[in-house]
Homo-oligomer: A and B are copies of this chain.
Amino acid sequence: MRPRSKTLTEQELEIMKIVWGRGQVTVRDVYEDILRRRKVAYTTVMTMMKILEGKGYLKKRAAERAYVYQAARSKSLVIKTMVRDFVNRVFNGSAEPLLVQLVKDRRLSREDIEKITRAIQEDEPC
């Protein structure tokens, strides 16, 4: 009925950020990381990581004791896709209004923008 979402929800992204940050993780690693911020059951984390595996965001391999998970897609790729989807969904694909929004909402100043464009320009000449 509903098409399998493929986009990351808040909790899924929370897990992915931990995985990207640490490289190789067990369920327990992620569980304890999340526990520092909020209460959650071990099995909940396990289920979520299974979901993420099913969606193709994580892959696991058997180690001695527990499964070791790692990201199946790079952070930069996933973020890029999320930004793209967001711009498509909210701004019908054009990024300009998003930038306008960011500036108007004082989330970006002119100095920020200049600094960033300079940095990127140096990064990729021509």
- In the complex, the answer to whether B107 meets A102 with C-beta atoms within 8 Å is no
The residues of B that contact A48 with a CB separation of less than 8 Å are none
Q: Is the interface of A mostly helix, strand, loop or mixed?
A: helix
The 8 A-B residue pairs whose C-beta atoms are closest, nearest first, are: A95-B107, A95-B108, A95-B102, A83-B101, A103-B120, A99-B116, A86-B86, A110-B117
- In the complex, the answer to whether A110 meets B121 with C-beta atoms within 8 Å is yes
- In the complex, the answer to whether B117 meets A105 with C-beta atoms within 8 Å is no
- Listed in ascending order, the chain A residues whose CB lies under 8 Å from chain B are 10, 13, 79-80, 82-84, 86-87, 89-90, 95-96, 98-105, 107-108, 110, 112-113, 116-117, 119-121
Given contacts A13-B90, A98-B102, A113-B117, 11 further A-B contacts (CB under 8 A): A13-B89, A84-B105, A86-B86, A87-B102, A95-B102, A96-B112, A99-B99, A99-B112, A100-B116, A103-B117, A110-B121
